[in-house]
Amino acid sequence: MNLFSIRDIENLTGIKAHTLRIWEQRYNLFCPKRRESKHRIYDCEDLKHLLRIAYLYNQGHKISQIAGCSAEEMARLALEIKPDTENHEIFINQLTEAAIDLDQPRFDKILHNLVLHAGFEKSMINVLYPFLKKIGVLWLTGQMMQAHAHFARALIIKKTMVALDGLEKTVYTGGRRVLLFTPAGDHHDMPGGECQELPLLFMYYMLKKEGVPTIYMGKNVPLSMLEIICAQLPCTQLYFLLIPNLNKCDMHEYLKKFSRMFPDKEIVFSGPEACQCSCDHLPNVRLLKTIEEKKIFLKEGKVNELTS
C-alpha cells in the first residue's frame, strides 16, 4: 500500500497542510491514519477523496457545502462543472486519479478530451507539464509510485507520438536542419531522469510544426554516434537537453569537447538546470534560458554562418 505524508498531500492537491488540518478538525472531512509518531498518513483512497474536495473547492464551492456532501453528491457536483480550456486543474486532478488507479482507458480518454478542447500545444504547456511536475512527488514515496509516474509518462509520450504523426512531413532541400538528442549517461536511473525524452519530443513537435527539417535521435546518444550521423546527414544545429546529473565541471568539459568536435554547427541546449551553465566563451554554443528564447529558436530562418 502506498502512503503519503501531509506534505505529499499538500503538493498533490495544492491545499496547504495548515488548511487541511483545519478542515479535518472543523468539518470532519476526513480522518487520516497516524503513525506511531502521531504524524498523519494517507493512502490512495484518501488522496483521491482529497483531490475531489480540492477540485470542487477550487471551482468555487464552499468547504462547508462540500463537507455536507456524500461521495455520490461530490461526484454529481463535479460532473456539473463543464471543463473548458482554462480549467487546467480539472484535467490535472482527473489525470492524477487515473494514474493512481493505473486506469489506462480512463487516462487515454481524459487525454483525448483535453487535446480535443485545448489543442496539443496548450495541453502540453498548461496541463501535462504541470501534471508531471505534480506527480513527481510520488517518486519520494517508494517504488510503486515510480511505477505510477512511469505509467503516466508512457501514455503521454504515446499521445505525443500520435500528435507528431499528424503533422505534415517536411522535406529537406538544404539550409537549416536540426538534430535533436539527449546525451549519453546514467541519468535514466535517477528520479525523473527518464522523462527527459518528453520535453525533447515536444521540441521535436514544435520544430516540425514550424516546418523545420529535423533529425530525431532520442535519448542517451554518445558524441561518437553524432559524428557518424552528421557525416552522413547534413545538419546545421544540434539541440540537446541538459542532463540533471552532469555537474557544472562535467558540463563545462562536455560543452568544450562538443564545440571542438562540431565547429561548423551551432550547438543549442536548454533544460531545468541550464541557467547554471555558462557558454559565453564558446562561439558556436547557445543556451536557451527563457520561453522567449525558445520561441525565437523555433521560428528563426537560416542559421548564421559559424566560424571555428
Residues in CB range of 231: below 8 A, 6 or more apart: none
Torsion of CA 224, 295, 155, 148, to 10 degrees: 90
Give me the half-sphere count of Cα atoms (radius 13 Å) on the Cβ side of residue 28: 3
Q: Note the pLDDT of residue 103.
A: 92
Per-residue confidence of the chain (308 residues) as pLDDT tens digits? 567 788 888 877 888 888 988 988 888 877 778 887 878 888 877 887 888 888 788 778 889 888 888 878 887 776 666 555 566 878 888 898 888 889 999 999 999 989 988 899 999 999 998 888 777 655 544 434 677 888 999 999 999 999 999 998 888 888 999 999 988 864 444 444 445 688 899 999 999 999 999 999 988 898 899 999 999 999 999 999 876 555 444 677 888 889 999 999 999 998 766 666 677 788 899 999 888 899 999 988 644 433 32
Residues in CB range of 208: below 8 A, 6 or more apart: 164, 167, 170, 214
Backbone angles phi, psi at 278, to 5 degrees: -125, 130
CATH class given for the domain over 178-299: alpha beta
In order, the DSSP letters of 118-167 are: H-HHHHIIIIIHHHHHHHGGGGGG-HHHHHHHHHHHHHHHHHHHHHHHTS
Q: Note the pLDDT of residue 251.
A: 76
- Note whether 197 and 218 are within 8 A (CB): yes
**How many CB atoms lie under 10 A from the CB of residue 9?**
24
Backbone angles phi, psi at 78, to 5 degrees: -65, -40
Residue entry with cell 558524441: 223
Q: Domain limits of the chain?
A: 6-165, 178-299
Among 254, 277, 266, smallest CA distance to 307 is for: 266
Q: Note the pLDDT of residue 141.
A: 44
Q: How far apart are CA 11 and CA 20, in angstroms?
A: 12
Q: Note the pLDDT of residue 123.
A: 93
**pTM of the complete model:** 0.71
Q: How far apart are CA 214 and CA 200, in angstroms?
A: 12
DSSP 8-state secondary structure symbol assigned to residue 86: T
Cell of 168: 505534415
Q: Note the pLDDT of residue 155.
A: 95
Q: How far apart are CA 271 and CA 209, in angstroms?
A: 21
